[in-house]
């Protein structure tokens, strides 16, 4: 199973930084009992692996070689590939850059690398054989892509709509490779005008496509702003204080590009 990590964005809401926003230190990992900082994107990567991904594809821009340096060739038990989005052209364009790697019968998970959410194992609840969205309740859905449901079926995605009628937003989604290819074909027929996945999915639904929404998310924070960064720190602190709440600290291992600190100290 592939996990696609679109990491080519400029991160203008939280700049200036001296590095890619996906490497912003947020929270911690335990290294032989010692707490160490970790990058915000590791929370998504860890959740993808918990959800079954054994291969990861980072979509990066030409100026984001620091992500390649950080993650290297593997993370935990998952191998990593990289593809380049030559210029910022929206989420749809970024996702479809990974399409040549994905087989039709292979499930694909897609998430956003500047977010932190719980429960950490929720992606495992999404089916492998359908386009499905993992949904989270938020207080201000107008800042996100709100998902309107009819039972479990997605009726509409309201993209950053001021009068959003649903408090549930998508935080990640999953589909078979053949569905990703069908979405790409639709995107091309629409002359690539869809920047956001929500508008493309609306067109897909209008043509008779089907999507599911799973309201299994508990909490969701976008770390792309200073306000969101502070909220993420608070969310992780609260989760760490709850006994047995996994996912508050990254625990799957170190990025392939960075050896564990305890190993470097021994050297």
- What DSSP string describes 7-19? -----TTT---SS
pLDDT digit string, tens, across residues 77-91: 899 999 999 998 999
* E strands present in the chain: 2-6, 25-31, 34-39, 55-60, 74-75, 78-84, 107-111, 115-118, 132-137, 145-150, 153-159, 168-176, 212-214, 219-222
Average pLDDT, integer, range 119-129: 97
Lowest mean pLDDT among 13-22, 75-84, 219-228: 13-22
How does pLDDT run across 199-213, given as a tens digit for each residue? 999 999 999 999 999
User: Is the pLDDT score of 76 beyond 50?
Assistant: yes
Distance in angstroms (rounded) separating the CA atoms of residues 237 and 11: 24
Percent of residues, the chain, with pLDDT higher than 90:
73
Residue 69 clears pLDDT 80, i.e. is over it = yes
Residue bearing the bigger pLDDT, 242 or 101: 101
User: How far is the C-alpha of 125 from the C-alpha of 123, rounded, in Å?
Assistant: 5
18 pLDDT higher than 80: no
Tokens linked to 65: 């070689």
66 vs 82: CA distance, rounded Å: 12
> How confident is the model over 25-52, as a mean pLDDT?
90
Q: How does pLDDT run across 230-259, given as a tens digit for each residue?
A: 998 889 888 888 877 778 888 776 787 766
CA–CA distance, 128 with 126 (Å, rounded to integer): 7
pLDDT greater at residue 235 or residue 14: 235
Mean pLDDT score, 118-147: 97
DSSP state of 40: T
Cis before 233 (ω within 30) = no
pLDDT mean across residues, the chain: 91
> Residues with Cβ < 8 Å from 74, sequence gap 6 or more?
80, 256
């Amino acid at each position: 199973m592939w996990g696609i990590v679109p990491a080519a964005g400029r991160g203008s809401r939280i700049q200036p930084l001296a590095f890619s926003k996906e490497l912003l230190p947020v929270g911690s990992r335990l290294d032989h009992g010692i707490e160490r900082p970790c990058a915000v994107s590791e929370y998504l990567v860890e959740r993808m692996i918990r959800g079954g991904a054994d291969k990861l594809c980072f979509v990066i821009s030409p100026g984001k070689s620091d992500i390649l340096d950080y993650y290297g060739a593997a993370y935990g038990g998952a191998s990593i590939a990289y593809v380049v989005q030559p210029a910022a052209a929206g989420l749809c364009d970024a996702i479809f850059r990974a399409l040549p790697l994905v087989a039709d019968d292979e499930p694909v998970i897609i998430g956003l690398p500047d977010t932190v959410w719980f429960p950490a194992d929720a992606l495992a609840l999404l089916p492998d054989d359908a386009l499905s969205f993992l949904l989270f309740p938020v207080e201000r859905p107008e800042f996100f892509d709100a998902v309107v449901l009819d039972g479990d079926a997605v009726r509409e995605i309201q993209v950053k709509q001021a009068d959003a009628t649903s408090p549930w937003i998508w935080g990640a989604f999953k589909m078979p490779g053949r569905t990703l290819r069908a979405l790409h074909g639709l995107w091309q027929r629409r002359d690539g005008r869809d920047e956001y996945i929500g508008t493309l999915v609306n067109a897909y639904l209008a043509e008779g496509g089907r999507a599911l929404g799973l309201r299994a998310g508990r909490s969701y924070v976008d770390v792309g702003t200073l306000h969101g960064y502070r909220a993420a720190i608070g969310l992780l602190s609260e989760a760490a204080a709850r006994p047995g709440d996994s996912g508050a600290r990254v625990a799957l291992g170190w990025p392939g590009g960075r050896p564990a600190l305890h190993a470097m100290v021994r050297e």
